[in-house]
Structures are given as C-alpha cells and as structure tokens.
Amino acid sequence: MKEQKRKTSLRKKFSLIISGLIALTMISVGLIISNEIKKPLIKEMQKKGEALGSNLAATSAEALLSGDELLLGIYMDKIAEDKSILYAMILDKTGKVISHSDHRVIKGTTFKDPFWQKAVEVKKGTLIQHNTDSSMDDYYDIAVPILSNNNKLGTIRLGFSGKEIAATIKKVKNIIFAITVFVLVLGLIISWILVSFITKPIGILTKGVRIIGTGNLDYKIIIPTKDEIGQLAETFNEMTQKLKNAQEKLIEGARLKKELQIAQQIQQSLLPKKCPENASFDIGAFYKAAKEIGGDYYDFFWITPEKLGLVIADVSGKGIPGSLGMALTRSIFRSQITKTSPPAEVLAKTNILVCRDIKKGLFVTMLFAILDTKNKTFQYASAGHNPLLLIQQNKASWTKSSGIALGIATETLFNQNIKQETISLSENDLIIFYTDGITEAMNRKKEEFGESRLEKAVLNYKDNTAQNIINKLKKEIENFTAGAEQNDDITLISLKVQ
C-alpha cells in the first residue's frame, strides 16, 4: 500500500509540473498573440475612421457652403447606422455643433472636452486620440478638417468604440483558453501514461531492493529496458552478487578461522609444554609460526632416565600443508625411537616411511640428537637440516651438515649420505638448534639475518641462562626485521651445560 502511494505521489508530482509548464506556456503565448492582434486591429480601426472622416468631410463641404442642414443630417443618420461609431458631429469654425448623429443634441452646442480644442485647431490631416470614459469604456476620438480650396469650413468629429477590438481580443482569448484546456487535458493524460511507464521499472526496482534488503541475495531484479534504470538494476544485481560472494567468503573465512584455531590447538598440543629440567643441563626453546599454524617441529623426550632425545625439524611449506606434514612426520619419527637406536638409524627408518606416506613435493629437514646427561656426550645426525652452532671455550663453530632431507631420497641413497657425530661437552658449553626461519629472516631492505649475525648475538648473550639467550635472540631478530612480514616459521633451541 505504501508502495502504491509513493507511485501515485510521483505521478501527481510529474503531472502537476507538466501541467504547470503547459499552462504557463499557453498563457504566455495567449498574451503575446493578444498583443500582436490588438495592434493591427487598432491600426485597421484608425484607417477606417480616417476613411469615414475624410469621406464625410469631403461630402459635407458642399452642404456647408450651401447651408443645406437637411443634407448634413442625412449624412449623420447614415453614419449612425455603423454600430462601431459612438457619435458623429459636424462643427463650425468655432467648434459649435452644426449637425449631430444624436438628434437630442441642439445645434450650437459646444463640447469643451480635452479633445475639443485640438479638433477645432486641426487644419489638415487626421487627428486621433485614444480615450477612456466610464460611460463608453475605451473609444477613439477622430477629427478631420472640412476644407474647400484649402479654406477650413469646419470639423468632422467621430467617436469610434473600442468594444469591437475588445470583443475580437476576447474571442481570441477564449479560443486560446479552449486550446489551453484541451492541451492541458491531453498533457495530463500523456504525462500520466509516460510517468506510469517510467515509474513502473522504478517500482520493480524498489520491490527488488526491499526483497534483497530482507537478506534474499539470490533475488534478481529483472527490468527489460536498457536505459539508466535498467543499468541501475544491473548494478544492483552485480552488487547483490558481490554481497553474496562476500557473505559466503565471510562465512567460509569464519569456518576456516575456527578450523585453524582447532588445528593450532592440536599443533600446540604436539609441541612440548615446557623444557625438560636437569641439574647438569639448562634448556630453552621458542617457536613462532609464520601463519596461524606452521611446519616447524621440535620436541624433547626421555629415552632412558639418563638419555634425553632432542629433535628439530622443518617441513617444506607453511600453513595447513606444512602442519599436516609436520604431524605425520612426528608420528612416524616417534614410532621409530627405541632405547638402543642411535640417531642415524632412527632417521633412516623414518625416511623409509616418510617417502611412502608423505605428500609428493613435501620434504622434511630434521636433526635428531641424544644427550647423555651422565657422560655429558651429545650424539646427533642430520637429515639435511641447518648446522648446529656450538660455543666452546668462548669460541663459536658450526657443525658440518650432512645427509639428505626426509622424503626425497631412496633408502640406499639416504643411508649413504647420513653421518652420525658425537660431541663431548664441558661446563658452559652451548649448543644452538634453529630452523632457517632464523637465518633467512628479512628486514624491509630484503637483507637476511644470516649466520654471522646469529653467531655474534649468541656470543654476546652466552653467559645468560638458556631461556634468556633465546629471549634475547628473539629480540635481536625483531629489531632486525623492524616489523617486516615473517616469511617462514621460526624455531630456536638452546642447550647449555651447567
């Protein structure tokens, strides 16, 4: 109902505007036509008066010379038959009436009105004056001298009514008014039809917008025209589709966010809750994924009461693929650990299963070490992982990295390349495990943090506790990157001999 009211209101508004414009135009045209008609009518009437006055003056001259007043009266009666003549009179030289069209006017009467003196004084040509009188409305006074051999015998004075002109103008105005009414009615009908034609697609558009406003983003506004309203409808349909896509993406994003939160919780549960404690060794660790979840992995576990296993790994790829690869590798790796298996053997067995089960294109670098807390020995093997940074006697050295990443090489090739090393540890010795997210961290100038900066920072902070060393290294990296986007997962482990 409200929609109908709005449509009717719009129709009325347009119709009133069009009607007003038509009426204003017709009135203006009527006034112009009336004025243009009035001028030639007045001119024509003046010519008629001049002709009558001149003819009467010419015929009256002989009667005046002979003193034939009867003939003059006949002339007056003849002129009086013309309904447009209000009065006609013949005046002598002094302005007194000799003969008058109104028989009630006595001979010798003088009409000393404002035009009388001018009429008496006219000696040649025709004198015309427009007058307005309460009893006669508009009229025109015409004075023509009666001449004989250039001698003035008297004056012919005629009064022409302006009613004929007024009647003609009124008739024209009536015709114009009738035409105006006709055009107005026709204009209203046409404007109503046109506005209805225009407002129909607007109504369809309004209805469609209301339906879309209720949340029905599948609704399409169909307007067959290709004008601006049709284009507006197409724009609304495009906007609705974009809103629908955005809504779907928002819902999908919310779902993915929820799933990522769950995946993050699962991944966090797979990482150590805290670092192991031992009187002989101090251990610190830090992990930060480049995205919500990552592909780095580290772990600590007691193989025997005296032997602690330490592992750090980096799965190629980030996000969900990296996280799934990490979870699979962790499960396989843990299943291969025994009390007697050395690091190289564990990695070799892990590689066989990783090659079989991991997604093609993914690979894993891993370093596995066994710390003997009683004998203070550190036995390790690397499957293509970054070298360890070893600090002994205040000097830094990098262990040689050998071996091939898990999931790439065959069993034979992998076993041929993997090497197992053993390091004897002393008091205050320090070992740093890390993933390439540390050394390859970039600042805004695309410069990498690198091994040299890592070595320098570790030497500066080597006297701190294991966790404090980690914290200070993390701060060094944050200062270096200065807010630049983290491109890879970051994992750090520090092992310090007490």
| Residue 292: predicted pLDDT | 67
What percent of the chain has a predicted confidence (pLDDT) above 90? 33
Per-residue pLDDT tens digits for 385-420: 999 999 999 899 999 777 999 999 999 999 999 999
Q: Which of 270, 304, 333 is the last residue of a domain?
A: 270
pLDDT over threshold 50, residue 4: no
Going 22 to 25 to 28 to 31, the CA torsion angle's sign is negative
For residue 3, pLDDT over 60 is answered with: no
CA atoms within 13 A on the CB side of 15: 19
Strand order from edge to edge, sheet including 395-398: 281-288, 490-497, 430-434, 389-392, 395-398
147 and 251 assigned to the same domain: no
Going by their DSSP bridges, the two strands 307-315 and 296-304 should be labelled as antiparallel
Q: What is the CATH number of the domain that holds 319?
A: 3.60.40.10
Provide the token pair at 320.
């969900």
Q: List the beta strands (DSSP E) in 2-94.
A: 85-91
Residue 42 lies in a domain: yes
Strands (E), 123-280: 127-133, 137-148, 151-161
What's residue 255's pLDDT?
Answer: 76
List, in sequence order, every residue forming a beta bridge with 285; answer none if it has no partner.
493
pLDDT at 57 over 90: no
- In this structure, is residue 191 part of a structural domain? no
Residue 135: what pLDDT? 61
Check residue 8 and give its pLDDT: 52
| Mean pLDDT computed over 38-64 | 77
- pLDDT of 348 above 90: yes
- List Cβ neighbours of 173 (8 Å cut-off, separation of 6 or more): 30, 34
What local confidence, expressed as pLDDT, does residue 264 receive?
65
Judgement on whether residues 31 and 148 belong to the same structural domain of the protein: yes
In the chain, pLDDT over 70 holds for what percent of residues? 92
Element spanning 302, H or E? strand 296-304
pLDDT at 65: 81
- Within this chain, do residues 138 and 117 fall inside the same structural domain, yes or no? yes
> Does some domain include residue 198?
no
User: What pLDDT, in 10s, does the model give residues 102-121?
Assistant: 888 888 888 878 788 888 88
Residue 282's domain comprises: 272-497
Task: Name which residue leads in pLDDT, 189 or 310.
Answer: 310
| pLDDT computed for residue 136 by the predictor | 56
Structure tokens at 327: 């979870």
88 and 158 together in one domain: yes
Is 178 within the bounds of a domain? no
Q: Which amino acid is at 65?
A: L
Q: Identify whether residues 45 and 82 lie together within a single domain.
A: yes
**Do 72 and 99 contact (CB within 8 A), yes or no?**
yes
Confidence bin at 245 (pLDDT 50/70/90):
confident
Q: Are residues 263 and 279 in the same domain?
A: no
Q: Is residue 9 part of a domain?
A: yes
Judging by beta carbons within 10 Å of its beta carbon (0-12, 13-18, 19+), is residue 198 exposed, middle or buried?
A: middle
Examine the domain organization and report whether 404 and 312 are in the same domain: yes
431 and 492 co-located in one domain: yes
Under the banding of pLDDT at 50, 70 and 90, the label for residue 182 is confident
Q: Are residues 266 and 277 in the same domain?
A: no
Averaged pLDDT of the chain: 83
Is 192 contained in some domain? no
pLDDT band at 448 (very low <50, low <70, confident <90, very high): very high
Q: What is the pLDDT of residues 288-310, one digit of tens each?
A: 887 767 778 899 999 999 999 99
Report the domain count for the chain. 3
Q: What is the pTM of this model?
A: 0.55
User: HSE of 115 in the Cβ direction (CA atoms, 13 Å)?
Assistant: 19
Among 3-7, 35-39, 430-434, the least confident range: 3-7
Q: Are residues 256 and 282 in the same domain?
A: no
Q: What is the pLDDT of residue 2?
A: 46
Task: List pLDDT tens digits, range 127-174.
Answer: 888 777 656 567 888 888 888 888 888 888 888 877 777 777 778 778
336 with 292, same domain: the answer is yes
pLDDT given for residue 359 in this prediction: 76
